[in-house]
Structure 1
Amino acid sequence: MTNSTSALKLLVFSLLCLFYGHSAAQDNKGWELKRQSDGLNVYVRDAANSDVKEIKIETTLDASLHAVVAVLKDVPVYEEWIYKCQEAYRLKPAEDKASLYYCRVDFPWPMSDRDFIAQSRLRQDPETRMVYIDVKGKPDQKEQTEDVVRIRNLDIHYELTPVSNSKTQMSYRLHSDPGGAIPTWLVNMVVDNGPVNTVKGMREMLKSEKYQNAKFAFLK
């Protein structure tokens, strides 16, 4: 390997460290602890370009990294654990590290139900084994029906850190605007309710032998 090649690789590595280090620092700014209960630390902060608060939940799950990823990849069973999820299915065949799916969320009468289309992408740090899953709203990937309100702004981020073969630390960030005529102050009042119940639902799903025994070749 020539000196110039080594220098170029070192420069690229340094720039990546600078970029991702700066991004991580930005991600950790402005969070306010809202509550601690049932092993969950729940935080909120102001979101950029939106009056709806962003939420973050941190917890340790009694499951392996592979088990947690297995639950998150199993779109057809989202109805069983994601809070108020009424219907969920893939819009494209499943891939190891990506998924495009549809989800309909039950809203109380007289409000209309909401739905969203999401694209998820998974990556893993080969050194730390940490898994990052980014979920972005893709509202125009499926025709909207008249009886629901399409959620157009959706941003979810998971950070999964393996603690042991049977424990995984999870950081779950969510920002979503339900749209429609719901006052922002009301949305912010209950902004953590759905995510908290979703994480509790995930805990229950992780008890299943189906997930406890999951193994993926693409994960270290």
Structure 2
Amino acid sequence: MRTRIILLFMFVTAFAKAQTVGAWQLKESSDGIKIYTADISNSKIKGIKVECQFNATLSQVTAALMDIKNSEEWLYHTAGNQLIKQVSPGELYYYSLIEMPWPVSNRDFIAHLKVTQDPVSKVVTMDAPCIPDMIPVKPKIVRITNSKGKWVVTPAGPDHVKILYTLYADPGGDVPSWLTNLFITQGPSQSFKKFKAHIQKPAYKNAKLDYVVNQQ
């Protein structure tokens, strides 16, 4: 999504074959949440990586990430999310509107979320590429057409998980450098701190998912 504009969200780097990722550089470390950036070949936009560990189960984290309606409670500058299509319990398409500071135009994107789990390691992976033309472009809103995000949630003991999130997003249009930097660092930092508290709600803490087996 989105010069990290969509970094608000959700969002992991499945970069195109023509692109290569440079060395990751630590930009911020706070409350156990580490944020890295890296240069991407043939792009002025940097890639983002977030690493953290939460007291939670695999189902707990997955249930919160798949709860599109309430994800705007923790995603940075997200003005609204709307489910477009539920393919299965672990796969869906959704629309998201990103609110930008004046005078920059708001952005939007359509993401395809799909959850898979390794039957042996129990690692849960959620790919979240954007689908640019699933619904018509809206007036006065810039559509993010190039964004690739990914969540990798790894068991790290009973009720404990390690999260790795990567994102490459081109916001499209003209975006001031100060705003780009804001979304690259402040966006993921605020989102993950809110997400850490968000997943402790009863709706997620007690979640049981048929498509995710929790760690023992």
TM-score normalized by the length of structure 2: 0.84
Deviations 1:70-90 (A, max 9, x none): 001101111111111111011
Structure with the bigger percentage of helix:
1
Tell me how far apart the structure 2 counterparts of residues 215 and 28 of structure 1 sit (CA, whole Å).
36
Please give the secondary structure, in 2, of the residue aligned with 1:132.
strand
Correspondence for 2:52: 59
Correspondence for 1:97: 90
Correspondence for 1:11: none
Correspondence for 1:41: 34
Identity of aligned residues (%): 34
Query: Is 1:137 aligned to residue 133 of structure 2?
Result: no
Correspondence for 2:4: none
Correspondence for 1:116: 109
Q: CA deviation at 1:94?
A: 5.2
Correspondence for 1:201: 194
Tell me how far apart the structure 2 counterparts of residues 128 and 75 of structure 1 sit (CA, whole Å).
27
Please give the secondary structure, in 2, of the residue aligned with 1:192.
helix
Please give the secondary structure, in 2, of the residue aligned with 1:92.
strand
Question: Is the 1:83–1:201 Cα contact (8 Å) retained in structure 2?
Answer: no
Please give the secondary structure, in 1, of the residue aligned with 2:151.
strand
Question: Is the 1:75–1:90 Cα contact (8 Å) retained in structure 2?
Answer: yes
Provide the aligned length of Structure 1 versus Structure 2. 195
What are structure 2's unaligned runs of at least 5 residues? 1-18
What are structure 1's unaligned runs of at least 5 residues? 1-25
Tell me how far apart the structure 2 counterparts of residues 106 and 58 of structure 1 sit (CA, whole Å).
25
Please give the secondary structure, in 1, of the residue aligned with 2:48.
strand
Q: CA deviation at 1:121?
A: 1.5
Q: CA deviation at 1:47?
A: 1.6
Structure with max Cα Rg: 1
Correspondence for 2:43: 50
Alignment root-mean-square deviation, CA = 1.9
Question: Is the 2:35–2:188 Cα contact (8 Å) retained in structure 1?
Answer: no
Task: Between the two structures, name the one with larger relative contact order (CA 8 Å, sep ≥ 6).
Answer: 2
Following superposition of structure 1 onto structure 2, how do residues 1-220 of structure 1 map, counting pairs within 5 Å? 30-93=23-86, 95-183=88-176, 187-188=180-181, 190-220=183-213
Tell me how far apart the structure 2 counterparts of residues 186 and 134 of structure 1 sit (CA, whole Å).
26
Q: CA deviation at 1:190?
A: 4.4
Please give the secondary structure, in 1, of the residue aligned with 2:156.
strand
